[in-house]
Structure formats: C-alpha cells, structure tokens
C-alpha cells in the first residue's frame, strides 16, 4: 500500500472509530481521533465539506431530545431567491455535499422535491433528514423522482409507546408504514437510490429497544445509525436524555468548525446544531458570499480560540459537552 493508500486507510479507520462509540472509548480510538483532529486543524479546506440548508424550521413533531420546542427564532420557509443564491454560492466553492434540513421537517416544505432537483442540477450530492410522518405515496414518488441521494429517517423507537412518548405528535404505525412503502417503491423504481439510513438517538426511555431496532431495520435499509443524544450545550439535561459523557476525554477543538456550515432559513449562517437559535452567527448569505463567511474573521476567531484551547471563552462552546458525549 502506498502513502496515499495508507493515509486513506488511516482516515477511514479513524472515522470508523469515531462513529463506533465503544471503539472510541478505547485508548487507540482516542489517539486516532486526536490525530485526526490535529491534522484537520492544520488545514482549512477552501470549502466546507458539508453545507446544511434549512429550507424550513417548521416541524410537526415535538421530540423530547430536540431543541425545536425551546427554539425562539421565528418560524418560516426559505425564499426561492435565497435558496438559489445559496446553491450558486455552494457551486462557486465547489461544495460536494448538501443536506436540505436543519431544525424543521423538510417534507412540510411544499417545494422540497423541486429544491432537491435544483440542487442536483448543480451536481451536489443531496441528503435529507425526515421524520417520515408525511412520507405518503405521493411524497415518496416525488422524492424518488427528485434524485435525492440519501434519505435519513429518524425513528428512535421500536414499539408504539416508546416511539410516541419520544417523538411527540407522531404515530408509530403510520411512520413505520410510510418507511416500508418507501422502501418498496424504491425497489420497484430503480433499486438503490436514494440510500436509506435509519437513525436512532439513544435516550433514557429507549435504550432497551436499540438492539431490536437495529436487528429489524438492518436487513431492510442501507445503514442503521445508533447515536447518543446531545444536550444542546446545556439546554436539555443529559440525565433526562440518558446520554453518558466521559470526563476522561480531553477537550479538543470542535470538528464542526472545520467540517460544516449551516444556513438558517432566513440566510444567517451558524456553525453547529447547538446553535439552534443562531446563538453563534458568523455571517449572512443575503449580504455576503458563503465563501467569504467560511474564511471570514468571525469563523476564524472561533477556530483560533478552539485551537488555542480557549473554547470556554465562547459562551455556547463553554457550555457544550459535545466533545465528551458518547
């Protein structure tokens, strides 16, 4: 294996370890992660690897682990003009991946399939995250025709009671039926696209169902992801969420600042999920190209403070346990 092959192997192994929580707790996993972080910190890509575009922040659920119920900013839908401007900005930066979701349910956006098509015309790999409660047959056919590359479905429960206690406002049987019909239509449509990922966030009330969830869905979809709840930088108590966090983990610069950008539906740009109300706003795409914001002074200041181990000077980052939640 040449040097490039070795690097590729180490990177893949590092990412695998990061994603496998248990492996990450091992000394090898932690060493790999720290190596990955320090390599990442030395180099800022010309473009963010991932751009999240919030076409709406309206949702039809009130999930117990989500910041949506405590979000204060006005709810709304992104204008066509702004959406197309963001796509142009991303294309100029040669961004490869976009996710058309942040805090809302994208299937509430009546234009979502057109928006996916527009993003595909620019050549982006398009991902979307949905609660699938509105994924009726018409929407399913629309999504399949839109060319979306990956559909992530959040479900978080294997029994109706657990699911409905957590995903407040949604019905288990309806969501499960919608997902199964979508998979059936996909099989009849053209087979492998979009890639379907079932997501389960581990909480106090559902940990006992994670294995059943995994076993049930793994043969049906392309990937099953089991993750830990985040506490939204202290806004929701970890104990209630059932997440564990390891005080033995060293605080490291936050990968979000190097790896992704979030554009809120009103055009403001923020840096991570914890900043759900735009608490950290680094720019506004209505006033500046996204490329300027990505390399601009507000973003650079955050990165510098993290590199210098002074993340605590940023109020939101100071309260954030994201680095230690596993």
List residues binding ligand SF4 (CB under 6 A): 233, 254, 256-257, 271-272, 274, 311, 316-317, 320, 322
Phi, psi of 252 (to 5 degrees): -120, 160
Q: Give min distance, CB of 311 to ligand SF4, in A.
A: 6
Structure tokens at 133: 């409660």
Q: Give min distance, CB of 258 to ligand SF4, in A.
A: 10
Cβ atoms of 175 and 168 within 8 Å: the answer is: no
| Of 123 and 312, CB closest to ligand SF4 | 312
Distances in whole angstroms, Cα of residue 114 to Cα of each of 43, 65, 100, 173: 36, 30, 12, 28
The strand ranges marked E within the chain are 50-53, 62-63, 97-99, 125-130, 150-154, 167-168, 195-202, 223-228, 260-263, 268-270, 281-284
In angstroms, the first-to-last Cα distance of the chain is 33
| Helix (H), strand (E) at residue 116 | helix 112-121
Cβ atoms of 282 and 293 within 8 Å: the answer is: yes
Question: Residue 270 pairs with which residues in a beta bridge?
Answer: 262, 281
Q: Give min distance, CB of 147 to ligand SF4, in A.
A: 31
| Of 128 and 272, CB closest to ligand SF4 | 272
| Of 106 and 253, CB closest to ligand SF4 | 253
| Of 163 and 276, CB closest to ligand SF4 | 276
Q: Give min distance, CB of 34 to ligand SF4, in A.
A: 16
Which residues are CB-neighbours of 140 under 8 A, at least 6 positions away?
Answer: 178, 181, 182, 185
Distances in whole angstroms, Cα of residue 100 to Cα of each of 56, 60, 97, 148: 9, 17, 10, 10
| Of 78 and 254, CB closest to ligand SF4 | 254
Q: Give min distance, CB of 289 to ligand SF4, in A.
A: 22
**Plot region of 232 (φ>0 → left; ψ -120 to 50 → alpha; else → beta):** left
| Of 149 and 274, CB closest to ligand SF4 | 274
| Of 33 and 158, CB closest to ligand SF4 | 33
| Of 159 and 235, CB closest to ligand SF4 | 235
Q: Give min distance, CB of 320 to ligand SF4, in A.
A: 3
Q: Give min distance, CB of 281 to ligand SF4, in A.
A: 12
Cβ atoms of 251 and 311 within 8 Å: the answer is: yes
Q: Give min distance, CB of 307 to ligand SF4, in A.
A: 13
194: preceding bond cis by omega (within 30 degrees) = yes
Cβ atoms of 107 and 142 within 8 Å: the answer is: no
């Amino acid at each position: 294996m040449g040097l490039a092959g070795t690097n590729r192997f180490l990177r893949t192994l590092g990412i695998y370890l990061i994603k496998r929580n248990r492996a990450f707790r091992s000394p090898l996993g932690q060493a790999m992660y720290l190596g990955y972080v320090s390599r990442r910190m030395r180099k800022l890509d010309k473009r963010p690897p991932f751009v999240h575009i919030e076409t709406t922040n309206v949702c039809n659920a009130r999930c117990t682990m989500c910041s949506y119920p405590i979000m204060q900013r006005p709810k709304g839908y992104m204008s066509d003009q702004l959406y197309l401007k963001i796509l142009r900005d991303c294309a100029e930066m040669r961004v490869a991946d976009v996710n058309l979701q942040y805090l809302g349910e994208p299937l509430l956006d009546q234009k979502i399939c057109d928006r996916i098509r527009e993003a595909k015309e620019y050549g982006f790999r398009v991902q979307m995250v949905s609660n699938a409660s509105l994924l009726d047959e018409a929407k399913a056919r629309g999504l399949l025709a839109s060319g979306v590359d990956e559909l992530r479905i959040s479900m978080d429960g294997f029994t109706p009671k657990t699911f409905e206690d957590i995903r407040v406002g949604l019905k288990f049987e309806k969501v499960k039926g919608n997902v199964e019909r979508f998979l059936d239509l996909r099989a009849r449509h053209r087979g492998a696209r979009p890639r379907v990922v079932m997501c389960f966030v581990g909480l106090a009330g559902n940990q006992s169902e994670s294995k059943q969830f995994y076993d049930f869905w793994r043969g049906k979809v392309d990937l099953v992801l089991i993750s830990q709840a985040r506490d939204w930088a202290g806004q929701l108590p970890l104990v209630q969420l059932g997440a564990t966090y390891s005080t033995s983990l060293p605080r490291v610069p936050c990968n979000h600042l190097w790896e992704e950008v979030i554009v809120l539906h009103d055009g403001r740009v923020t840096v991570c999920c914890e900043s759900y109300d735009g608490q950290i706003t680094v720019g506004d795409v209505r006033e500046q190209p996204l490329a300027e914001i990505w390399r601009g002074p507000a973003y650079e200041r955050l990165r510098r403070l993290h590199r210098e181990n002074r993340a605590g000077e940023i109020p939101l980052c100071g309260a954030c346990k994201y680095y230690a939640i596993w």
